[in-house]
Structure 1
């Protein structure tokens, strides 16, 4: 058992109702959180705070049924705004004086979904949604709903209503399926979908391939050679692009780290599978950008042994041969792909690293992310430099900043070429 020494918590600069800001994708956005009468309403305060962590200003609307599962105090604490619980003379459901960028119905019950589809406006939630649909049809807002209900309630009426709403432009957040029910997704997953919905990034819908993680090479059926890189940066880059609603896909080498389930990714187990997957993926549609952050194996065993090699010294010597340079293969087969490649070095000066990056630029590569193992931030953060032919190297500290800088660079390139 763990033992607590009864000491007070460390001091924090955050006030009681403040949240740590984790992103800016909802900065300046007003979100109406509409809470209906399902048990999943107990998650509403957590959803509100998760939205605020991306910078959103959140106002909660609740039905009377919803207040059986959550409370006004909890929602006011989590949003820092008064909760709208009924239709009043102030006409909060119309939001004329302060319109919302998006309406999120979470949870969305069977009853509310079907009323929404048929235009019934008989309470604060359905009346707010009737107004929201009118705004959506004029291109002034977005609507997302997160259906949650017991599986037996998923009937042909619900299916027809969901299809109708989707055809109108309402985004349906896919539920988390478990125990015969449509369950509300994790708060972060809901927030990610809202970010994508309201994104105005130039990269919206642009096909982008990202690679990350190690690319192990097998020795026999159970042993392999790999490196220590986890692939977290590749996932961070993918998430940043996904939040901007790019059509992004991550090819991630198998290791100790697995990307968040809501990201579009596939796992590859070996270097050979990695190379084959990249070439196949790029041939499927016209990807505009490729970001190659994977720690690719430079060597592989000349011979892969069958089965499990017995212990006791049979593997004293392993002959290694060079692997194909993946970025060179890609560049030769897909010359129109705008590539962002990575260069990691140890035991060199900063000046030498920049020269190595510039040499790659001179060979025709568009952008290099260069870093040294010896250079880290005060908190041990990764430090890297974005090197291109047309501007001074840009210093980036930490994986989030690296991911954001790459996404900003791609936005600029896409804008300039559009």
Structure 2
């Protein structure tokens, strides 16, 4: 084990790797409650959503540890699961099987691009400022979802958004979730995000927000596994529906654009904490990381868990001493164990996860200081990414705004030479995407 994972070589130990794996699990365990809540909106059965979320995360996190040997964990990605719930599911009669087929197709497309070396090459072609901006924009997007789930912000026809009803039980649970999570986090309590959710769930019982569990332990529900190859509502195989419906192909392209770039900032953030970021800003074992991450996107669609991706919360485990893939193996095992407690997990309301999402959004904002705002070519496109992602409720839209504005500013300021060839390719792809939308 020591020689395979290079534990001693990297100055770690089995005990240290286990602690780091547990830290990572506790930091990202909120996805066990949040992802099923979103997938249920899309039509996925509740217990099946919990099973697919846990098993998918467990398997791909273990594979990340074994193949890349770095402390990175995978789970259903925030943002794309929101798109599945609120946008994609509505395209074809709210058939969640078709939605998962779209995820499966875009995951396979990304995997092919990685195996061809294109994803890694495009990563190198993107300006550093835009890499940081994507992380910041995602942070705002996640925080916005959390505040909405907690009833703290609501839709308003006059002002677009406004403050929710401060006397409503949902608002109170959301507020408790934020306060508890923040207090625990600043006190350096391990697993602050998960504990914040638990506290909010308990407080939600007398408020009527938390429902009573139907049991403690249950068997796994694999009914969502193989969703792309199930018959849809009209009897057509879901994956066939994707290739015969132009709008679904557009969605697949859009999600591919999002998935294509999301891992970039995460890998850099975790690499910095885990001491595998090179002096020139490149990430060690990036090829293996991208292969597993890309395969995870396809697996997410295959098991009905939405797109599975590398989580930025992995940085918490790396900061806690994780230096090898063994910590990821421990994290993956914990996710698989969690799958057997679906009845308990299903009682967690979306309001109870509000604090976790808001705090994750805050943590992702840290990259904003690494953007050179005094340089218009660097600053303005970064701003368009940061503003575009939450304001259009779309990761790919925000990234597209940034890419296109970067090319335009570079052209009008006589700095076109700074735009690398693959950046041109990506920008043209975004223009096509917007024209087809």
TM category, shorter: under 0.3
Question: Which structure has the higher relative contact order (CA within 8 Å, separation 6+)?
Answer: 2
Q: Could you tell me the TM-score, scaled by structure 1's length?
A: 0.25
**Structure with the higher fraction of residues in helix conformation:** 2
**Structure with the higher fraction of residues in strand conformation:** 1
Question: Which structure is larger by alpha-carbon Rg, 1 or 2?
Answer: 1
